[in-house]
Amino acid sequence: MAEIDESQAQREAIEVDRSKGDFKYEENYAFDAGVGLSAATVDYIAKVKGEEEWIREFRQKSLKIFQDMPMPTHWATTDLENIKFEDIRYYLSKGQKPVRTWEEVPDDVKKTFERLGIPESERKFLAGVEAQFDSEAVYSRMKEELEKLGVIFCGPTEGLRDHPEIFRKWFGKVIPIGDNKFSALNSAVFSGGSFIYIPKGVKVAQPLQAYFRINAENFGQFERTLIIADEGSEVTYMEGCTAPKFETATLHSAVVELVALKGAKIQYITVQNWSANVFNLVTKRGVAEEDAEVRWIDCNIGSRLTMKYPGVVLRGKRARGEVLSIALANDGQHQDTGAKMIHAADDTTSNIIAKSISVGEGRSTYRGLVHIPKTLSNCRNNTECDALLINEHSRTDTYPAISVRGRKNSVQHEASVSKVSAEQIFYMMQRGLSEGEAMSLAVNGFVNDLVKEFPMEYSVELKRLIELQMEGSVG
Amino acid sequence: MSDSLVINNLHASIGDRPILKDFSLTVPKGEVHAIMGPNGTGKSTLSKVLAGHPDYSVQSGEAFLDGEQIIGLEPDVIARAGLFLAFQYPSEIPGVTIANFIRAAIVARQAKGAPFDAKAYYAELYAKMDALKMDRKFTGRFVNEGFSGGEKKRCEILQLMMLKPKYAVLDETDSGLDIDALRIVSEGVNAMRGPDTGFLVITHYQRLLEYIVPDRVHIMWDGRIVHSGGKEVALELEAKGYDWVKTELASA
């Protein structure tokens, strides 16, 4: 117990002030694709980035698919219809190539990073930093040890240009262009993100980390991430997002592809804090080959609408997939999240634990898909989804789709809905906690067992984010 | 007045039902007062009204904590002003450990941004748990979740000892306790007795008062105090039964 207590004390000491995400510096973009989306916009992006012809063609093909696909409003919320694609700027750049040393970073960008606390946390936690400032990574660096190990950590433009033999094979393969309307959009206009390759047998001890920010109004951020962990390698990637508050809606639509080759392990961690006007429509999927493991830890706080269902395709024998997710929907927010587990080999196992919290008029939806065909044997899935409602007006829905065939396969599904009762709140307030503090303690208690799985820095950040959300929800 | 819990002519109801009817009582700091009375007479309502429970409404009357009027204040403000209520039925808080819960309560009393001395906190917590004969593993359990009746009450007394209120209201703390637990809980309260704390012990039975010997005993009937005296009143009540209250005291 004493050890836990000490780490608790440390946690408090390094707590991050998330209100720091709420600011904005001058916009002075060297490149701007203008407002709206057309074949010319896509050509412009390809040209500015100096991309090869095959990438330009990939973008154009994606644009066509995006334009032809209908909105998925037959199952998803009609709020999607409020996205004004014609009002969005699809590409902005400082016009700089990613730089490697801190000295080369422009001063105003430095100021942004300082406010986000990146330099400090880098010293402590990071093996390599790839921080995305709007469209381009303006600051990227890797520790020398990582480079010596042959680890590649760059953006998509550099990845596809400098290491096509590694990345081209998997790019757009885990998530095909037409997987959904927003993966097609991302494929047409992607810019920024992380391309990572971990060579055979290399176990990266420290997490790789990227910070993302949106710093321009009406600007959609379309990162593209591809992580390939070669045989027997291990890597943890951490993604954190803060966005300043804006008056009009902002679109964020990323595509993240993970490839864990034989015996490899990938852990992908997201803690998101979008401002309340952001549409956050993200496609995330991993492939796990024989004896490989893909684990998504996904926390969604903020945004107007989040739609995100991280998935794992269990392609090799004994592959393991896991999704641990936390969603918090406050007033006016809709967290539509879940997980997909596609079993495609014998002896594969998957685990889904999803917790959602609905506050005020907030709404959370869980959608799960577990697929085990009858040709397979000894496959197992465990799904738990728990919802916590903070008051009368909040709402939660669960749509589990589990298709398990075959004799030797098993699936467990548990779902619960609980409420923070008035008596609980009174009890905590009688001990001196304000209503907001009482609610955030109850919420932190609800997610407690999941948060224990997170790296310390992120569990602290998540706790703080929950506190800020709950404080704001008390009238 | 500035050194007492003073309740003057309190009228309170739940919904349309009046429960406290012109209730008055003064508990000077440093004293232990007991309220006894049959079920349904308003003892628990008194504790909830003093703590600011939102389900009860106060029609008239006042309550002062060392001179500060507390009726109408938010429950957390009353708590931080120095009133502690040991609940008859404490709520469960899943996922929140006892150590973190008490810590949050202490932090809520500190100035914003003041540093928290974790080492001193745990030293004190463990010392008080030892006094209450609680296993140290208890700090890692979730508040009241899966606790026995005795564990819940011990946990309430632990919080009382850690938060050191000016006034503590113990609502039927003896219910659900066996003799051993009763003795341990009482020792905890007795250890806290002193010039800085006033106690209001609400109980149905005289048994608890053998362990926590009161300075004054008040008998409550139909929403108000009908008889007060020294500790001998508890024995008298035990001997004569609540019918005595009904026939001789309530009609007076």
pLDDT in tens, A295-331: 999 988 888 999 999 999 999 999 999 999 999 998 8
What per-residue confidence (pLDDT) applies to A102? 56
Q: Which two three-digit tokens encode residue A276? A: 């309340």
Q: How far is CA A79 from the centre of its chain?
A: 21
**Residue A68 neighbours by CB distance under 10 Å:** 10
* Alpha-carbon span B168 to B172, nearest angstrom: 13
Size (chain B), residues:
252
Contact A307, A278 (CB under 8 A): no
Taking the CA of residue A395 and the nearest CA in chain B, the distance in Å comes to 21
What per-residue confidence (pLDDT) applies to A8? 43
Q: What is the pLDDT along chain B (252 residues), one digit of tens a residue?
A: 679 999 999 999 999 999 999 999 999 999 999 999 988 899 999 999 999 999 999 999 999 999 999 999 999 999 999 999 999 999 999 999 999 999 999 999 998 878 899 999 999 999 999 999 899 999 999 999 999 888 999 999 999 999 999 999 999 988 878 888 888 889 889 999 999 999 999 998 888 899 999 999 999 999 999 999 999 999 888 888 888 888 877 665
For CA atoms A124, A130, A133, A134, the dihedral sign is negative
Does B95 contact A4 at a Cβ distance shorter than 8 Å? no
* Alpha-carbon span A410 to A408, nearest angstrom: 7
| Range scoring the smallest mean pLDDT among A21-30, A249-258, B222-231 | A21-30
* Alpha-carbon span A157 to A170, nearest angstrom: 15
| Cβ-based contacts of B78 with chain A (< 8 Å) | 430
What per-residue confidence (pLDDT) applies to A9? 39
Taking the CA of residue B82 and the nearest CA in chain A, the distance in Å comes to 9
* Alpha-carbon span B51 to B65, nearest angstrom: 11
What per-residue confidence (pLDDT) applies to A404? 85
| Cβ-based contacts of A448 with chain B (< 8 Å) | 95-96
Three-state secondary structure call for residue A98: coil
**A5 interface with B at CB cutoff 8 Å:** yes
What per-residue confidence (pLDDT) applies to A31? 63
* Alpha-carbon span B186 to B157, nearest angstrom: 9
Report the DSSP beta bridge partners of residue A305. A279, A334
Tell me how far CA of residue A109 lies from CA of A13, A135, A137, in angstroms.
26, 13, 11
pLDDT tens column, A390-435: 876 777 888 888 888 887 888 888 888 888 989 999 999 999 999 9
ipTM of the complex: 0.96
Per-residue confidence at A103, pLDDT binned at 50, 70, 90? low
Tokens 């919080």 found at: B159
Count of CB pairs separated by less than 8 Å, A with B: 95
Q: Among residues 402-421 of chain A, which lie with CB inside 8 Å of chain B?
A: 418, 421
Report the DSSP beta bridge partners of residue B25. B7
Tell me how far CA of residue A259 lies from CA of A1, A55, A191, B66, in angstroms.
38, 21, 20, 67
Three-state secondary structure call for residue B208: helix
What per-residue confidence (pLDDT) applies to B223? 94
Q: How far is CA A29 from the centre of its chain?
A: 26
Domain count, chain A: 1
**Cβ neighbours of residue A450 under 8 Å, at least 6 residues apart?**
A324, A326, A353, A355
pLDDT tens column, A52-63: 999 999 999 999
How many CA within 13 A on the CB side of residue A326?
27
Q: Which two three-digit tokens encode residue A320? A: 């393991």
* Alpha-carbon span B75 to A367, nearest angstrom: 39
Q: Which two three-digit tokens encode residue B97? A: 């450990």
DSSP 3-state helix, strand, coil percentages of chain B (rounded to 5)?
40, 30, 30
Taking the CA of residue A28 and the nearest CA in chain B, the distance in Å comes to 37
Q: What phi and psi values does residue B127 have, to the nearest 5 degrees?
A: -60, -40
**Residue A246 neighbours by CB distance under 10 Å:** 18
Mean pLDDT within A465-475: 69
Q: H helices then E strands: how many in chain B?
A: 9, 12
**B240 interface with A at CB cutoff 8 Å:** no
- Selecting from B53, B140, B142 the residue whose C-beta is nearest the C-beta of A426 gives B53
Q: What phi and psi values does residue A444 have, to the nearest 5 degrees?
A: -60, -35
Q: Among residues 78-97 of chain A, which lie with CB inside 8 Å of chain B?
A: none
For chain B, the C-alpha Rg in angstroms (whole number) is: 18
pLDDT of A332 higher than 60: yes
Domain carrying residue A351: 2-473
pLDDT of A293 higher than 90: yes
* Alpha-carbon span A265 to A288, nearest angstrom: 9
pLDDT tens column, A140-182: 455 566 788 899 988 888 899 999 999 999 999 999 999 999 9
Taking the CA of residue B94 and the nearest CA in chain A, the distance in Å comes to 6
**B101 interface with A at CB cutoff 8 Å:** yes
Q: Among residues 121-160 of chain B, which lie with CB inside 8 Å of chain A?
A: 122, 136-137, 139-140, 142, 159
* Alpha-carbon span B216 to B200, nearest angstrom: 10
Report the DSSP beta bridge partners of residue B143. B93
| Cβ-based contacts of B80 with chain A (< 8 Å) | 432
Domain count, chain B: 1
Domain carrying residue B56: 4-249
- Choose among A268, A202, A262, A195: nearest CA to A234: A202
Q: CATH no. for residue B188?
A: 3.40.50.300
